[in-house]
Amino acid sequence: MNRTGTAMHSLPALIRRIQERFEKLEQIGSLGNRREDGFDRPAWSDMETAAMKYIQSAAEKAGMVSTWDGVGNLFLTTPGHGEEFVQVGSHIDTVPSGGNYDGAAGIVCGLEAIIPLKPMWERLNRKLQLVLWRGEESASFNAVCKGSGAAFGVCNPDILKHTNRDMSLYAAIQAQGFDPSFIAEKKATLGPEQKKKIASYIELHIEQAKRLETDGIPIGVVSSIRGTVRLRVEVSGEANHSGGTPMGIRYRKDANLAIAYMQVGIHEACSYAIEKGSDLVQTAGIVNIDGDFNKKHPLVYANSLTKVSPYGYFALDIRSNNTAFLTDYVKDIKKIIQERAKRFNVEVKITEILRLAPVEKLDPAIQHSIEASCRDLKIPFIEMPSGAIHDAALVAGQGIPAGMIFIPCRGGISHNPAEYASPEDLARGSQILSNVLYRLAR
Ligand SMILES: [Zn+2]
């Protein structure tokens, strides 16, 4: 026991156990024989389920009790007293050709934060619960935080029609033995009574940037989470002969050219906003190449080297940690797009795919607990915002006190087979997490 009463296992033993857990996970959804070959564990796939079951069996061996909710989120709970829970959660799905640490770090560290507290479980006033959310990554089914969203009944039912490798989300949920009607009917898998029992929620995650590594700081205490607005902009022009058609908008309705000018316009708006001091990032990650979307919009294939472009589209992901700014900025962006469409004599359709409000301030009491734990264990930390969305944002959106801990990842690289977090950094994160859980549950 250390002076806060937490049972701390020796660091080398913790490092060894964490390493073993990751070695087991490396065998699930691996794209080759080595970690560097990358991973593929899409939402509601056999691989995601297998990874969840591995953690389930490890938790059960340690004496925890498991329950699956209606859509297949997994809850692993310590026996003990008290009606309330302190949750620690994350996800275990990956992007295609992703790494083994985005999400899984939070699950493994969460498990290895709860197990060392075993001598205390019965003495705590709240139970500890490890939550494995399904399908956090947008890469499958084009929607973010699907499992945590379903738990609280906030997923847009339209996402059930979204496909991944020719399978709809509806079918994928059924194929894993769960019930998509929760999402279809916006019915929370966690009822109001269960939700009330969640006293606090913490998520540990790799930073997915390189500030911690660069500054040599092992722990980031997350203060805010950027929200996002995602748009799909479809532009319709008119096909015509590239040689015969004179230049100028009297003759040409060139969709691809209009898209290029739209992108320049919105990039300039972004640079201007940042210069003025706003928190903002934006990315046009897709231009005409979304395979599933193209199946339903085959006109994109009518584009050719010798044609004025009849149709094109791009997707835009805009993020900020300031709600009011994000709302106004998106309005401005839509105006710029409309103006460029007019200038190039093309039609434009803007569809909002997703709007997720920022968490401007994560729970201050949890933040203090994390900082106090760092001081306790003499581990340096800094306060920092999260650029990426995490399940913690969905939980915080429900009014549940939520906090996040970042640990370094090598080179800041994520969503890439080269993604890596060292067992030492993971173990330090796990120790902090353990200490925080004890503080929140005692
Ligand atoms: Zn993640």
Helices of type H across 233-322:
255-275, 291-296
pLDDT recorded at residue 6? 47
pLDDT recorded at residue 156? 92
Query: Tens digit of pLDDT for each residue in 365-389?
Result: 999 999 999 999 999 999 999 999 9
Instruction: Report CA(304)–ligand 1 centroid distance (Å).
Output: 38
Instruction: Report CA(94)–ligand 1 centroid distance (Å).
Output: 8
Percent of the chain at pLDDT exceeding 90: 88
Instruction: Report CA(137)–ligand 1 centroid distance (Å).
Output: 7
What whole-number distance in Å separates Cα of residue 328 and Cα of residue 268? Answer: 16
pLDDT category, 166, cuts 50, 70, 90? confident
Instruction: Report CA(206)–ligand 1 centroid distance (Å).
Output: 8
Instruction: Calculate the CA dihedral of residues 395, 398, 403, 408 and round it to 10 degrees.
Output: 40
- Mean pLDDT, rounded, for 195-213: 96
pLDDT category, 303, cuts 50, 70, 90? very high
Instruction: Report CA(104)–ligand 1 centroid distance (Å).
Output: 8
CB 260 within 8 A of CB 237: no
Instruction: Report CA(73)–ligand 1 centroid distance (Å).
Output: 15
Instruction: Report CA(134)–ligand 1 centroid distance (Å).
Output: 11
4: CB partners within 8 A, 6+ apart: 373, 376, 435, 438, 439
pLDDT recorded at residue 4? 46
Instruction: Report CA(390)–ligand 1 centroid distance (Å).
Output: 6
Residue 293 has pLDDT above 80, yes or no: yes
- Mean pLDDT, rounded, for 415-439: 95
Instruction: Report CA(103)–ligand 1 centroid distance (Å).
Output: 4
Instruction: Report CA(92)–ligand 1 centroid distance (Å).
Output: 8
Instruction: Report CA(91)–ligand 1 centroid distance (Å).
Output: 6
- 31-35, 252-256, 288-292: which has the minimum mean pLDDT? 31-35
Residue 61 has pLDDT above 50, yes or no: yes
For the chain, the average pLDDT equals 94
Instruction: Report CA(416)–ligand 1 centroid distance (Å).
Output: 12
Residue 33 has pLDDT above 80, yes or no: no
Element (H, E) at 42: none
Domains detected in the chain: 11-226+359-441 (3.40.630.10), 227-356 (3.30.70.360)
What whole-number distance in Å separates Cα of residue 366 and Cα of residue 395? Answer: 14
HSE toward the beta carbon, residue 336, CA cutoff 13 A: 18
Higher pLDDT, 226 or 142: 226
pLDDT category, 9, cuts 50, 70, 90? low
Residue 8 has pLDDT above 80, yes or no: no
Instruction: Report CA(412)–ligand 1 centroid distance (Å).
Output: 13
